[in-house]
Each structure stands twice: as C-alpha cells, then as structure tokens.
Structure 1
C-alpha cells in the first residue's frame, strides 16, 4: 500500500476525505512521542558531522545550520550542541544571503545548495534512520504493509534537486521505507572559500 506525504496544516477532515481509512502519523517537531523522534530537529546526539572526522551533532537540523555560511557569518559550531528543538535555525534576515554549506567545520570549500542537500543533509538524516529510529521505521513499514499511511510534514517536497521549497524529511522517510533513497553524490562542483574567513 502507498505511503503519502501531506501538509500538517491540513485539517483532520481534509485528510480523512483525501485518504479515507489511512493511518495518519505526524513526524514533525510538534509531534507526540515516539514519532517526534523522526523530526530532523530531535536531539538524538552522536550524529556524525559530514567532512568533520570525530565531530558529532545533537540533531540533523543542528548540523545543517552549523555548516551554513552566510554573507556576514561563517559556520556556527554552537548549533551542534543545541539539545532543544528551538533556537537552531540561522536566518538570512540576520546574517545575509546564504553562500553555501562548508565542507566541515574547518573545510576550505562551499557546497552549492543541492550538493549540500545530498552530501550533508541526506547522510545525516539517513544515519538517524539507521542508528536512532530503526524501530519506528520498522513500525511504519509494517503499517504500510497493512494499509495506507499518511506522513505529516510542513513541506511535501521530496525532490532533492528542487530548490524552490524546503526538502520534506517525511518524503525522505517514505523514500527510505520504499527503498528509493536519493543519491548522496553531487553533480555540481564545490566552490572555494578559505576556511575560517568571513565571506564577503
């Protein structure tokens, strides 16, 4: 049976009409236990930071934000240690335009957006699916075999190559369960920026 991804902003009545009889599972940071543990904001701890041997982060989102480089701010290692699910994001309003994601905390190169999704976000979230929430993944796999399942997220974009909207971790979760995980390789080449320098 199929797994669907739908917006958490939809009403219960709308979901029931669109997916009659389906099991609806909220996997956002506002979900109840145990499903909140599938959120990239959840502080599992011990998540390896790509391109940073021996360095770990509390959450997938913390890693994503820590390696982000803005027009007026470089990497922010403090985001790796955030154990709550608030105060993780870094915004263009405060730091200027995003220039890319650094290849590690002390890396010398910046990854373009799609490349960063494939080389930073995907492996970080996959690690969580393999090492921290395998039991929940299996529960969803069994539920999928018994009937339709709807995963709720704030965005439904499952295309890593589509930069127009944020990537849906619920869509990634569906891909993982269905054996269609996106490629963790990047066609784009990285751009050079000196490590530790504040980008112009």
Structure 2
C-alpha cells in the first residue's frame, strides 16, 4: 500500500497513523537516492513537450520555463538549470501568470489544468520511464508487503484542481500502482542498466 502525506507533518504523528510504515521522502530535500524522484532533480535529456530539439535537465525546469507571465514570456534558460535551486519563476517578479506556452515556438497558451495534462504529466512520466524506472519497480514490489508513505510538500491528487499544485508523489504512486497506461512502455537500455545498479540507499525496500 502506498500513502501520500505532507512532509510538513511530524514523523511521529505519521507513524502513529501508520504503525510500521516505511517513510519515504521524494522531495528535493531527500538525503538518499530517492531524491531522483523529485521534479527538481537534474537527470538531463528530458524532452520538452511540443518542442522538437529541446531538452531539459529536470521536469521543474520545463514547467517553469514554459510559463508565460503578464510581464515576461517563456524562459528557456530554465531548461539548463541543474542546481535544484533558483528554478521557480514567481508572480511577484514577473506579474500575473497567463498560462503555459504549448512548446517553445507554440502560439497556444494552455490554462493551468491543461498544462498539467499536456506538459507536466508527460514530462514527469518520461522521467520516470527513462531515468527512474528501477526505483518505481522496487517501490512497487515493496508496497506489496509494506505500507509506504511518500512525503511531498504538495499532497493534491486531483489533476483537474485549478487551485492547487499537483503532488508529484501522487504520480509516483499512480505509476507504481499501474494507474498510468503501460501499453506503450518501453524500457531503454539506460533504464535496464539502472535496474542492475540500484543505489544502496534503496536498501530499505529489500
């Protein structure tokens, strides 16, 4: 079983609710190999949706880079940020958010919900399939016998919620539980190598 809880909650309270659970931090603040599930992690080579020839170091760089503000258009320099810092583009600095451009050279501006469906989720799924599938497989196997609590700063699991950011932990849970479509899943050679060389930090799933 996989549960999502807020990283802001006290661990002792989470463990009272789920005795014996394995607590897994999947945020950018994680101190083990599971930080690779964070949308801020610089895997590199992630294709930018609707933007042939463009790739980004991390999913968050795509999300922020394609964002269009009242006073500023997209910023493709976000695609190159590999520091896990300074990726957020805020309304305080750039004005009201108008939406997300559908591709670097696109003319259509997507609303918040549509952008989650067409930009964020496909980019994050690509990252899972090509950069972190070995983690998902171990997580799926562990959840068969253990209660796994994924910690995220955002806990919204409703993709169509127009008021709250989507929890990437929810996407991890969805993929591990088979809620994402699997019919076109093709593991790359790199993914296979990663499965064979799983980092020691994931030993808690053994």
TM-score of the pair, normalised by structure 2:
0.86
Q: Deviations over 1:151-172 (max 9, x none)?
A: 0000110111012211100011
Q: Distance in 2 between matches of 1:78 and 1:101?
A: 15
Q: How does 1:59-98 map to 2 (within 5 A)?
A: 59-98=58-97
| 1:159 alignment partner in structure 2 | 158
State whether structure 2 residue 112 is matched by structure 1 residue 119. Answer: no
Residues 1:129 and 2:128 aligned together: yes
Distance in 2, matches of 1:47 and 1:171, equals 20
Q: Can you give the 5+ residue segments of structure 2 that lack an aligned partner in the other structure? A: 182-206
User: Which position in structure 2 is the counterpart of 1:46?
Assistant: 45
C-alpha distance in structure 1 between counterparts of 2:149 and 2:163, whole Å = 23
2-structure distance, mates of 1:147, 1:12: 17
What is the CA RMSD across the aligned residues, in angstroms?
A: 0.9
Deviation at 1:91, TM superposition (A): 0.3
Q: TM-score, normalised by structure 1?
A: 0.89
CA–CA separation in structure 2 for the residues paired with 1:52 and 1:178: 30
2:167 is the counterpart of 1:145: no
Distance 1:31 1:89 in 2: 19
How far apart are residue 15 of structure 1 and its match? 0.9
Q: CA deviation at 1:35?
A: 0.5
What's the counterpart of residue 13 of structure 1? 12
1:97-116 equivalent positions in 2, closer than 5 A = 97-116=96-115
Cα distance, 1:104 vs structure 2: 0.9
State the 4+ residue runs in structure 1 displaced beyond 4 angstroms. none
Paired residues in the alignment total: 181
Cα separation, 1, equivalents of 2:143 and 2:57: 29
Give 3-state SS (helix, strand or coil) of 1:152's partner. Answer: strand
Measured in 1, the distance between the counterparts of 2:94 and 2:174 equals 33
Q: Deviations over 1:30-52 (max 9, x none)?
A: 00120000000000000000010
Q: Distance in 1 between matches of 2:112 and 2:69?
A: 12
> SS of the residue aligned with 1:64?
helix
Distance 2:85 2:147 in 1: 32
What CA distance in whole angstroms lies between the structure 2 residues aligned with 1:84 and 1:22? 32
Note the C-alpha offset of 1:181. Answer: 2.9
For residue 98 of structure 2, give the secondary structure of its aligned residue in structure 1: strand
Question: Is residue 2:181 matched to residue 1:172?
Answer: no
